[in-house]
Structure 1
Amino acid sequence: MSSPSSASSAAAAAAATLKSLPTDMELVLKVIPMPADCNANGDIFGGWVMAQCDLAGSVIPARYAKGRQATVAVNEFIFKQPVRLGDILSFYSKLVRVGRTSVTVTVEVFAERFRAQGEYIKVTQATFTYVAIDDNGRPRPIET
């Protein structure tokens, strides 16, 4: 028999299940985590998810920077659900702001569970800021 907390967790996960992925964001990365990416509990290590989000988040700013860029801030990072071995992860990104030297984006990550293909769960959301840099690593203006 399941405990009240596990039953409420299952209900929350069921409520978070989506039948489609975002249409107002750009798919920038798709990846399947491997066993080497697991933590001691058997879920995918949060640091691995963060690294993938940083890579995914850099795609849109790269188009604006038209050259070197660097991550300067992780403004927000929320793990909404665990990522499991065998999940197919889809990383979507959207432009938030373009500044003089920086670009801010949001990244949302959706898991297609191994045994529930065609259904998606939002597992992570984050906001990153990237800065365009010159060959010496100094901020440089973004040409618009």
Structure 2
Amino acid sequence: MWLEAPVLSSRDPLIRVTAMPADTNPYGGVFGGWLMSQMALGAGALASRVGQGKAVVVSATDFAFPGAMAVGDELSVYCEVAATGTTSLTIVAEGIARERNGEATIRVCSGTFKFVLLDEDNRPRPVGEEALRAHGQ
């Protein structure tokens, strides 16, 4: 059932992509692993932007798949920084599907990703205050 879905943020989505036949599970629905990977890509883009450099995912938790999407539906991934540590960013991600031939939307996935910022030698580096302020965090 398609319903209006609340979006995590009023910002533009970090990822917008159309589900294709190769993205389905054996039952013909969009594979949860594909949804997880799209959320990780969006969260990683935000982590790199806010952290102003290399950011690697160190954990992924709290996945939920409250809705289903079909081949041809468009997925938009929204992300926000939920917390910061000395060298880490915790980012929540939410996926909203829009039906192929209309405007109806539904929340299909959500999850939390933790990233550590790395320097040129791949060692953890601090999250800069100026980076957080520049991105409204």
TM over 0.5: yes
Q: Which moved more, 1:25-34 or 1:43-52?
A: 25-34
Which residue of structure 2 lines up, in the alignment, with residue 112 of structure 1?
98
1:114-139 CA-to-partner distances (Å, cap 9, x unmatched) read 24x11110011111111101233321
Q: How many aligned positions are there?
A: 129
Structure 2 residue 126 is the aligned partner of structure 1 residue 141: yes
- 1:58 deviation in Å? 1.3
1:98-122 CA-to-partner distances (Å, cap 9, x unmatched) read 211001111111111124x111100
Percent of pairs identical after alignment? Answer: 31
Q: Which among 39, 57, 61 is matched to residue 47 of structure 2?
A: 61
Structure 1 moving runs of 4+ over 3 Å: 19-26
Tell me the TM-score normalized by structure 1: 0.81
SS in 2 for 1:123: strand
Q: Which among 99, 115, 128 is matched to residue 85 of structure 2?
A: 99
**Compared CA separation, residues 129 and 25, structure 1 to 2 (3 A):** farther
Which residue of structure 1 lines up, in the alignment, with residue 59 of structure 2?
73
CA–CA separation in structure 1 for the residues paired with 2:8 and 2:55: 26
Q: Which among 103, 106, 109 is matched to residue 121 of structure 1?
A: 106
Which residue of structure 2 lines up, in the alignment, with residue 83 of structure 1?
69
Q: Contact 2:55 / 2:117 at 8 angstroms: preserved in 1?
A: yes
Q: Contact 2:9 / 2:78 at 8 angstroms: preserved in 1?
A: no
- Unaligned 5+ residue runs, structure 1? 1-12
- 1:24 deviation in Å? 3.7
- Unaligned 5+ residue runs, structure 2? 130-137
CA–CA separation in structure 2 for the residues paired with 1:55 and 1:46: 14
Structure 2 letter corresponding to 1:66? Q
Structure 2 letter corresponding to 1:95? V
**Compared CA separation, residues 23 and 143, structure 1 to 2 (3 A):** closer
RMSD, aligned CA? 1.8
Tell me the TM-score normalized by structure 2: 0.84
**Compared CA separation, residues 35 and 118, structure 1 to 2 (3 A):** same
Structure 2 residue 26 is the aligned partner of structure 1 residue 40: yes
